[in-house]
Amino acid sequence: DMGRLLLQKRAAEKITFPMLWTNTCCSHPLSIDDEIGDITNTNLNANVEAVINASIRKLDHELGIPTDELQNNGKFHFLNRIHYMAPCNDPENTWGEHEIDYILIYKINEGKSITINPNDNEVDDFMWTTKQDFQKMLTDSENYQFTPWFKIICENYLFKWWDQLADLSKVENDHNIYRMI
């Protein structure tokens, strides 16, 4: 799946943004030792490691990707952080999101693969897409609607990163937090 992006369509049961297409996974770290990081926010490496641990947990939970495959078949690359906010599309306008997101790319090693066995309560559908096909999807609002955070990432960064897949060192480890609110 080299050069392709794994997308998921959120399940109808999701409280926020159900049935919308989005990035592969959001990590949602828990308040547990492996996912807390540095609460003083002075050690970015500790925070990135915590987010990677949470991502591994969520990739297993949402998409059924086995932990050992993630640990052995590729590598996570931390790109940057965005400060994002959006109201949700629920009828009572009860829910919303306001968060700092750590953006990671998991790059599968050449000759390796990952198993995908999605959790029906989390994922309605998934697909691997090429850059060219994904660009067409973004303009086809009749058939594809996307989560607000993913639209922000696409509009500002995704295609630049996609062009750097051969050598992510040119775009990774950005210490800034980009305000996207």
Largest pairwise CA distance in the chain: 48
From the candidates 26, 62, 69, 172, give the one annotated as an active-site residue.
Answer: 26
Spatial separation of the C-alpha atoms in residues 81 and 101, rounded to whole Å: 5
From the candidates 49, 88, 97, 99, give the one annotated as an active-site residue.
Answer: 99
Looking at the DSSP bridge assignments, the partners of residue 127 are: 7
Q: Active-site residue 92, yes or no?
A: no
**Residue matched to tokens 């492996």:** 34
Strands of the sheet with 5-10, listed across from one edge:
21-22, 5-10, 123-129
Token output for 16: 């926020």
Q: Active-site residue 88, yes or no?
A: no
Spatial separation of the C-alpha atoms in residues 86 and 110, rounded to whole Å: 37
- Which active-site residues does the annotation give? 26, 99
